[in-house]
Chains A and B, each alone.
Chain A
């Protein structure tokens, strides 16, 4: 019923996400709310998150696509641009959002962020400091967290 007036764009995006998923990413709408997506991103190879399966939630607000989707990590992750609550610091989710971007592009950008953490634009100060002071050690912690919190099932 909440989905009766679902814009054509959302329906099309959803169809394509299901029929032609991006590698390492799955997104499926919740059954009772077609604007709410359960997302899984596989940790990219050669990143500290390799081997991890990360759960996220994605919500398309009423103004979508004029406003950006709301995305959040549900799985605990040690990353300088992601905070304790799983919120993500990514420009296209804020001022760089454009209605010509899509759910797919957003999720691909998040995946790329896992491969290339950017401690100069941090969301989590402590982790960013750790990353800058001793990257090797920070990467170890990220690997440890991936093993502890993101190892499937």
Chain B
């Protein structure tokens, strides 16, 4: 290897490292054993504070909502010198926007009173001359004390009022805008009359509607969309990020209320969901949880979260669930390049039944969609599996592990953190497939860079997921404390941290529309990358641009010379020879 080559490799590693570590300073290779400290309180609390600073929303319980609503009503009532009932009617009419109420009221109080139905004096004098006035609804006569009216003075008997109010309440939230029964009159009927005249049941319903209205009609608030969750979210409109993490642990997008979908924008999500429902019949077979083993053809069920599947004995063939390729073609043998995220690759490997089925199934576009959809859906179910594994872990396994390995619970936090990270990464990864589907075909440089980043993300996460799922198992099943448990901790905590950084950078890069590629990638160097697969000489390799946008891509990785890489003892990551520390786990070579 000549020196020029080494120099460029060094550049590559440096810039790739940038991508992996981002702004966060990682523990350097000098302090290998330090993860124990890092994954403890210091790191954690720092995370939490920074999270709090960025937080642009407040989670509200039912009690919080009541308090806020009462405060707003009191505020309006005090400033405008009107009753609390009138203030409530006014606020409801202006969708609980305090400043809109102020503005409208001070510009044209009379006009506002008229549209909302807040009368200052009765429009009719209640004629007391007939001793027994007649109710305009039931046509019965009643003594005056059994008649009632809103501010307008249109009297009806109490029984008719009760029926009128009940009918309206059972019709839905429109009861919050109830008006006098007289067809020519718009006088508002407020909560005071409801409480005086309605049944207890109806009064309860009314106040539920009032509370709900404060959330649903208010532009700044929404209910958490998670089923059964009763929290609401108050959002600072105009914030940079729409991501909301509810107290019930559900993460969602405030803007479109779909599940959180960074780095993809709401529009793409909507398009993707629409596409999925249009194609759902074609895609049903994909969601099946079983596929034939590529070697022995027996159906194998996927019951683990990671994509590395091992067929049952005697076959024991190890393969990748996504592309059905041999697992030995993934991971270290291919230099860490993960190929099965790329669309073209799947087509080239067309030897398996599944691929043939796919061919028959439809023409190119459906095939392309199928490719992305399958990966999207698989990451989704992997995420669900990881979430339930995490819960299982917290409920049972950690205690068991604590016993077996003689470790206090506080020393096992790294496991929960690893699983939380896996759940989050599966979510991000899932959406990168929608991103990839809509990334224009003609933007070659971007596509190549994107697929490279996505491939690295898949393989990095796969490594973490395997470590947290399979390697942990050994320690759970151990008879007594394992000597190498601390090493395991270092490895898993390291993988967690590295993967977190990688994914944070990935999200940022995709949200920026891969703008790095515009400045660095789309230059003349791109063309030289075409020679990469075959040649591999110093000249063409030296042509790589910033980061790895011109790296040889997965379909060509089989031709890549393995002598250019060393496999990390700790995590098996294939590092370039010029690197002295593993850029996955930061252990020394």
Contacts and interface: CB of A to CB of B under 8 A. Distances in A.
A98 B189 CA distance: 14
B182 interface: yes
Residue from B139, B140, B181 having most chain A Cβ neighbours under 10 A: B139
Interface string B100-141: 000000000000000000000000000000000000111110
Interface stretch (B160-168, B230-238, B497-505, B578-586): B160-168
A23 interface: no
Contacts of B136: 100
Residue from A7, A63, A96, A99 having most chain B Cβ neighbours under 10 A: A99
B534 interface: no
B137 A100 contact: yes
Contact of B140 (A8, A96, A100): A8
B178 to A, nearest CB: 11
A67 interface: yes
Contact of A9 (B138, B154, B164, B183): B138
A101 B183 contact: yes
Given A66-B163, A66-B164, A67-B167, A98 B140 contact: no
Interface string A85-113: 00000001000101111000100000000
Report the interface size class on chain A.
10 to 19
A65 interface: yes
Interface string B182-212: 1100000000000000000000000000000
Interface string A50-70: 000000000000010111000
Residue from A8, A65, A66, A100 having most chain B Cβ neighbours under 10 A: A100
A98 B182 contact: yes
A66 B139 contact: no
B139 A99 contact: no
Contacts of A66: 163-164, 166-167
Contact of A98 (B138, B166, B181): B181
A7 to B, nearest CB: 7
A63 B171 CA distance: 13
Contacts of A12: 139
A99 B140 contact: no
A120 to B, nearest CB: 22
Nearest to B134: A12
A107 B137 CA distance: 18
Interface residues of B, number: 15
A6 to B, nearest CB: 12
Contacts of B163: 66, 99
A97 to B, nearest CB: 9
Contacts of A63: 167
A41 B321 CA distance: 74
Contacts of B154: 100
A121 B123 CA distance: 32
Nearest to A66: B167
A100 B149 CA distance: 13
A10 B120 CA distance: 35
B177 to A, nearest CB: 11
Nearest to A9: B139
A7 B136 CA distance: 14
Nearest to A95: B174
Contacts of A13: 139
B167 A100 contact: no
A13 B139 CA distance: 9
Contacts of A65: 137-138
A64 to B, nearest CB: 10
Nearest to B168: A66
A105 to B, nearest CB: 8
A79 B163 CA distance: 35
Contacts of B140: 8-9
Contact of B181 (A7, A92, A100): A100
Given A66-B164, A66-B167, A100 B183 contact: yes
Interface string A9-34: 10011000000000000000000000
A8 B182 CA distance: 19
A98 B183 contact: yes
B161 to A, nearest CB: 10
Interface string A70-85: 0000000000000000
A8 B138 contact: yes
A105 B181 CA distance: 14
A99 B138 CA distance: 9
Interface in B359-402: none
A38 to B, nearest CB: 23
A7 B183 CA distance: 21
A92 B183 CA distance: 9
A8 B157 CA distance: 14
Nearest to B135: A9
Contacts of B137: 9, 65, 99-100
A9 B167 CA distance: 18
Nearest to A12: B139
B7 to A, nearest CB: 75
B126 to A, nearest CB: 15
Nearest to B174: A95
A67 B181 CA distance: 12
Interface in B221-258: none
Contacts of B182: 98, 100
B169 to A, nearest CB: 12
A59 B160 CA distance: 21
A81 to B, nearest CB: 19
Nearest to A97: B183
Contacts of A100: 136-137, 154, 156, 181-183
A98 to B, nearest CB: 5
A101 B185 CA distance: 12
26 contacts: A7-B138, A8-B138, A8-B140, A9-B137, A9-B139, A9-B140, A12-B139, A13-B139, A65-B137, A66-B163, A66-B164, A66-B166, A66-B167, A67-B167, A92-B183, A96-B183, A98-B181, A98-B183, A99-B160, A99-B163, A99-B164, A99-B181, A100-B156, A100-B182, A100-B183, A101-B183
Given A99-B160, A100-B137, A100-B156, 5 more contacts: A12-B139, A92-B183, A98-B181, A99-B164, A101-B183
Closest 3 CB pairs of A and B: A66-B167, A9-B139, A99-B137
